[in-house]
Amino acid sequence: MLFAACCLVAALPCLAQNLEPREQRKPEKDTIRTTVIAADKGAGMRSLMTQEALISRADLPEGHARTTEQLLRMMPAIDIRERGGKSVQTDICIRGGSFDQTMVQLNGIDFTDARTGHQSHSLPVDADLLSGIDLVEGIGGNTGLTGAVNMRTLRSERDFLRGNFTWGSHRYFYGNLSGAKRLSGERLTLLGAGSYRRSAGYQPGTDFANWNTYARATYITPKSGTIDAQAGWQKRDFGAAGFYSLAFPDQYEKTSTALGSIRWMKASGRLTFDHWIAYRKNFDCFQLIRGDESRVPYNHHQTDNYGAHAAVGYNWAAGTTTVVANYASNVILSTVLGDPIAEGQIRESRLQVKGYDRTYTKYKVRHTGDAFLRHEWSCRTLGMQVSAGAAFSPYGTAPLWNAHLDWRPVRGWHFDAGVAQSMRLPTFTDLYYNAPGHKGNPNLQPERALTGRAGVSYATGCFGVALTGFYRHGDNVIDWVRESAQSEWHSMQITELDTYGADIKAEYRDENLLHRATLLYGFIRTGKESAGLISAYALDYLRNKLGAALDLRPFDGRINLHLDGTLYDRIGNYSAADGTTAAYRPYFLLNGNLSYVSKKWIRNGSLRIYLEAENLTGTRYFDFGGLLMPGLWFNAGFVVEL
């Protein structure tokens, strides 16, 4: 009630203006292209409270070998927990939440893995193909309890062909070829890329090889609207030395993922349409003892995730009212996850894929959906959005809602505040995973959360600063815990968990020698401690993050120097390799990149040569458990663009 009253008071100065006949207002230019850009940013996804640009194209180094996940380390609201070098397996956590509570989107399409959040980030897109990354908060439905990370690929305004080749420490190699082409009078844009990344590893059992291919086609016409299609494939093989248990130092995993979506958007008079369908196929083979199935059987999984989205909006004098509906189907065939398949109904692999062919004895299918009514209203300085709906799943029906206020009183200042209710279903791993040292819980119930946030930002000229605070009350929060280093992990639910915090980011940008300087700080606290339990996720969070970055561009931008350093302070305990329980210790990471660009050596193109160093101080640190992360890592390479 208080939030609604504040919104009404703030709206009164704009009410008369907003009730003017719609025909008297100036129409937006390039309506269709505006719709496409909004869709890329995830605006069509269910109901949302707010979205924030974490990384823009201007933030991405022109020449680099760092992964998307490594770039996200400099974002105060994001916690990146890596298990190996070059983000071979990475968990993305939002404001004190777990990796399973994070929805992962690609161009606004939900590709979250229903089996485990460990696989959700595995998208077949490299960092240099991105135009930006957004943080989307207050998402309704059955996933994304703490929000979503939306990765947006380029929609190039020009044709190009680019190659990026890198060599580095630990026999590292990275090669990427990408290009874009505009056809049919620039109405059709094609984007494609393929890459290969591998390393012998920085210690035994940390080797990896990764293949990515991705293509996107966008066709825009005033009559038909926008058709946006994308497809990709990824294959990963990696040593998982101690990833899930330090008692087994020779683990290994290989995955294969294919995904695709097609989206149609159209503005017709007062109506807007936004519909899409998506599919994600994942194969996984996990070996507790690498190459030796006689001692411990391998875990084999196949998951099929289907998704559909429909939204119809109506623009009228009081704003825009939109009806939104979503449907998802998650199917798993497994040797360990799901319900036992009856005798005589044992299922063979439906797709004969080398290395993944297996007779599966477990099966589970889950159908979920949600429906919302959303209304948005705005005038020159004020915007409001409210939504109400329900999520449907095998666990029953759950009401969900959110409200958000956006205010720009004077030039440069921006205030926003909102509150949202969200939920997440247990993953198949949470429910069914039983293996040496791990015990799932098939009686788990959905997690629920009520989150409030408020933010203020100021930008003028070359300077900008933003401050955000949040409070989240969680119910039935799922975590994997154990009593001691000798006991087994088991999934359980924490009755209540209150999490709060704030983050601030200040930045200076210019086109002179000092191109950019950034300072950031974020802190998080919870109202419940571990009570002697060793927590894998919910009570194991990044308590403080303090960072700074500097970009210098001397000689008219031909030389670029980038430096960033971050201090990480994580709370929680982990089981060390010697069987003792240890507390996480703060650590500092310093990274640098030096590049030189020339447009003279390549006709109608450019050549960029770069040298990169990660963890310059050789810090010994752990992101998860007692898994030692790489020390100093050098890379050198070049980018050719035509």
| pLDDT band (50, 70, 90) for residue 350 | low
- The pLDDT tens digits of the residues spanning 315-349 come to 999 999 999 999 999 999 999 999 998 766 665 55
Count of C-beta atoms within a 10 Å radius of residue 500: 17
pTM of the full structure: 0.89
Could you tell me what percent of the chain has a pLDDT over 90? 61
Q: DSSP labels for 521-567?
A: EEEEEES---TT-EESSTT--EEEEEEEEEEE-TTTTTEEEEEEEEE
pLDDT of residue 345: 64
Higher-confidence position of 478 and 59: 478
Question: What is the C-alpha separation between 525 and 503, in angstroms, rounded?
Answer: 12
β-pairing verdict for 382-393 and 514-526: unpaired
What is the number of residues in the chain? 642
Contact of 153 with 175, CB cutoff 8 Å: no
Fold adopted by 2-373+383-641 = Maltoporin; Chain A (2.40.170)
Contact of 515 with 553, CB cutoff 8 Å: yes
Nearest residue to 209 via CA among 218, 224, 222, 199: 199
- The pLDDT tens digits of the residues spanning 66-75 come to 888 888 998 9
Q: In which residue are the tokens 């799943």 written? A: 393
Question: What is the C-alpha separation between 494 and 415, in angstroms, rounded?
Answer: 34
Contact of 94 with 170, CB cutoff 8 Å: no
Question: What is the C-alpha separation between 129 and 74, in angstroms, rounded?
Answer: 19
The CA–CA distances, whole Å, from 368 to 126, 131, 208, 331, 415 equal 31, 31, 35, 12, 35
Where exactly are the structural domains of the chain?
A: 2-373+383-641
Token pair of 136, please?
């989307």
Q: Where are the alpha helices (H) located in 262-339, listed in sequence order?
A: none
Question: What is the C-alpha separation between 241 and 290, in angstroms, rounded?
Answer: 9
- pLDDT of 539 strictly over 90: no
- How does the average pLDDT of the chain come out, rounded? 86
Question: What is the C-alpha separation between 572 and 533, in angstroms, rounded?
Answer: 9
- The pLDDT tens digits of the residues spanning 22-54 come to 333 333 333 333 334 444 555 445 677 888 888
pLDDT of residue 5: 39
pLDDT of residue 349: 53
Token pair of 84, please?
């190996």
pLDDT of residue 346: 60
- Residue 10 phi/psi, 5° resolution? -70, -25
- The SS3 assignment for 198 reads strand
- The pLDDT tens digits of the residues spanning 242-262 come to 888 787 889 999 999 999 999
Question: What is the C-alpha separation between 375 and 386, in angstroms, rounded?
Answer: 6
Token pair of 48, please?
């949302």
Token pair of 501, please?
């915090």
